[in-house]
Amino acid sequence: MPAAPQPSLRFFHSKALRAKTLKVIDTVEKADDPTRHAGALADHVVELTEAGFDYFLLKPLEMVDANFVVRQTASFGMGGALRIMSPVIQTILKGMDGKQLLAVCTFIRSLMK
């Protein structure tokens, strides 16, 4: 029996980012050795993370017309978080085997529905 649907919170992203996401996922999924594409997948997960940060933090600040200093502070903080997270994401995904990378791709694809 399938699990009951869970509440979710997703973000809208550009058509270009969607196309790139599908291309990266397709490349990993079709590869004889998915681990050869772990770096590209990790880079893309960082890009998706940045897009999510933008959508959930910077966009609302724009909507409420937050002042320049507030928006710049938020942007600077997000940049710092991404600089810390990026090597962690790279290390984790590059350490996965092919089956694990395929599971990550399946998960990302499920979020795109």
Domain extent for 23: 15-111
Assigned domain for 8 exists: no
Q: Do the domain assignments include residue 5? A: no
**Residue 96 is assigned to a structural domain of this protein:** yes
For residue 113, the model assigns a pLDDT of: 79
Structural domain count, the chain: 1
Q: For residue 95, tell me if it sits in a domain.
A: yes
Is there a contact between 38 and 96 (Cβ–Cβ < 8 Å)?
yes
7 band by pLDDT with thresholds 50, 70 and 90: confident
Q: Which residues contact 14 (CB under 8 A, 6 or more apart)?
A: 51
**40-79 confidence digits (pLDDT tens):** 999 999 999 999 999 999 999 999 999 999 999 999 999 9
Residue 18's identity, in one-letter code, is: R
Q: Is 10 within the bounds of a domain?
A: no
Q: Is residue 1 over pLDDT 70?
A: no
Asked if residue 105 is part of any domain, the answer here is yes
pLDDT on residue 3: 66
Residue 6 predicted with pLDDT over 60: yes
Residues 6 or more apart whose CB falls under 8 angstroms from that of 36 comprise none
